[in-house]
Structure 1
Amino acid sequence: MARAQVEVVAVDDVRSVDGQSMLREVSSLWMTQRVDQGMSPEAATRAAADGRLREALGRADVRAWVARVDGTAVGYAITSENPFGLSTQPEVAIDQIFVDRRARRHGVARALLTTVVAHAERRGSEVIVSNVPAQSREANRFFARWGFSSVVVRRVVSTSVLRRRLTPGARPELLDAIRRRRHTAAPALQHESA
């Protein structure tokens, strides 16, 4: 069976008529990706409607492409430039890449990556980076197959946890005890005021 012809189109101006159409295609695929990752369809719809995707695609440092097979959108890639702003050399980061399950193994990801490489070369970037969740075995295997290697471990902490650890003399067990007392006292206070 021959591979389908994959067309990759840049999402340029999200304010234009064509841009609005492509934004809808990316949004639909973005919601599909979220549902595939375990989010409910309702939550994915709300997340897409909040406007952050549209806002991100409108930024000057962000580029997006839609992959189509037979005129149907089946995948997308979103990149940003110098994501950490500290590198003196241009960097292109793949923020998101997604191919609908029904279109996988038909060269869609290859076409999207080829487009990203061409973009990086035009920008003078010598490297392409992607932050991949450590627990995502499928995504890590995907990027490793294309030659991406692990160069950093990105550690994340919530601000509240870091604040507790930075506060001299704070004892976590004391803070937990205060939280438990407040939590159990709140229903009793509500009952008395009623």
Structure 2
Amino acid sequence: MVRNLVEVSAVPKDDLDDLVALWMAAKVDAGVPVEVAARFAGDGRFATAMSRPDVFAHVARIDGRPVGYVMTSENPFGLSPEPEIAVEQLYVEPSARRHGVARSLLCAVVGLAERSGSDVIVSNVPTQSREAHRFFARLGFSSVIVRRVVGTSALRRRLAPTGGVGAAVDQLIRRRRSLRAVASRAS
């Protein structure tokens, strides 16, 4: 099987057209409706994020056609004493996968890390993506933390003072769980 040459180039801050098109494709691939992805791309948040001096993007092309991108940021939280590069997003079109595109994009990230003096590259990998977890693990990325996410309203309900209807429901659920645990131990 002959692989096409993958070319990776940095995205200039003033020419985001290819990057925006790929970003929208990534959103649609993740299940976001096209109209919603277009609204997110057009509302200015994308351009604002890309205008930050610590955000970088690279686009991969095969035969001149954009097929993937990587977006990174430097020292995203500013809490680490060591400089680090974070892979914020990595996407390759389904038709271009398994052709070395993601590896080529990560080579650009390594170069960026070396130029910035970073000894560490981090990536947040979606929990449900087994393929992405395997890909990053094969490259030597190890699991360091588990990032948990909760909706604001759900957390507010759980943090609400005890008492009232919510507390009664929580108490009922706890009692049912403990009864189930006792029943399962008995059998």
Q: Do both proteins adopt the same fold according to a TM-score greater than 0.5, normalized to the shorter chain?
A: yes
User: 2:142 aligns to what SS in structure 1?
Assistant: coil
Q: Mean alpha-carbon deviation: is it higher for 69-78 or for 154-163? A: 154-163
Alignment-derived partner of residue 3 in structure 2 = 3
In the other structure, the counterpart of 1:24 is: 17
The unaligned stretches of length 5 or more in structure 2 are 170-187
1:141 aligns with 2:125: no
SS at 1:139 equivalent: helix
Deviations 1:98-149 (A, max 9, x none): 1111111221111101000010011111110011121222221221121111
Tell me the residue number matched to 1:124.
Answer: 117
Partner SS state of residue 129, structure 1: strand
Deviates more, 1:37-46 or 1:153-162: 153-162
1:54 is displaced (CA, Å) by 1.3
Segments of 4+ moved more than 4 angstroms: none
Runs of 5+ in structure 1 lacking a partner? 177-194
Q: Would you say 1:62 and 2:55 are equivalent positions?
A: yes
Identity within the alignment, %: 59
Q: State the match for 2:77 in structure 1.
A: 84
Write the distance in 1 (CA, Å) between the matches of 2:137 and 2:163.
Answer: 43
Distance 1:85 1:94 in 2: 15
Q: In 1, Cα distance between the equivalents of 2:64 and 2:88?
A: 24
The alpha-carbon deviation at position 166 of structure 1 amounts to 3.5
1:102 and 2:92 equivalent? Answer: no
Matched-pair contact (CA < 8 Å) for 1:164–1:172: no
Task: Give distance in 2, aligned partners of 1:171 and 1:12.
Answer: 56
Residue from 33, 36, 41 that aligns with 2:34: 41
The equivalent residue for 1:158 is: 151
| TM-score with structure 2 setting the length | 0.82
Give the counterpart letter for 1:5 in structure 2. L
SS of the aligned residue for 1:95 comes to strand
User: CA deviation digits over 1:140-186, x for unaligned, max 9?
Assistant: 1221121111110112223333334444335562799xxxxxxxxxx
Q: Distance in 2 between matches of 1:100 and 1:87?
A: 33
Structure 1 length-normalised TM: 0.80
> Shift of the alpha carbon at 1:94?
0.2
Which digits, 9 at most, give the CA deviation of each residue in 1:58-98, with x for residues without a partner?
10110001111111111100000111211010010000011
8 Å Cα contact 1:164-1:170 kept in structure 2: no
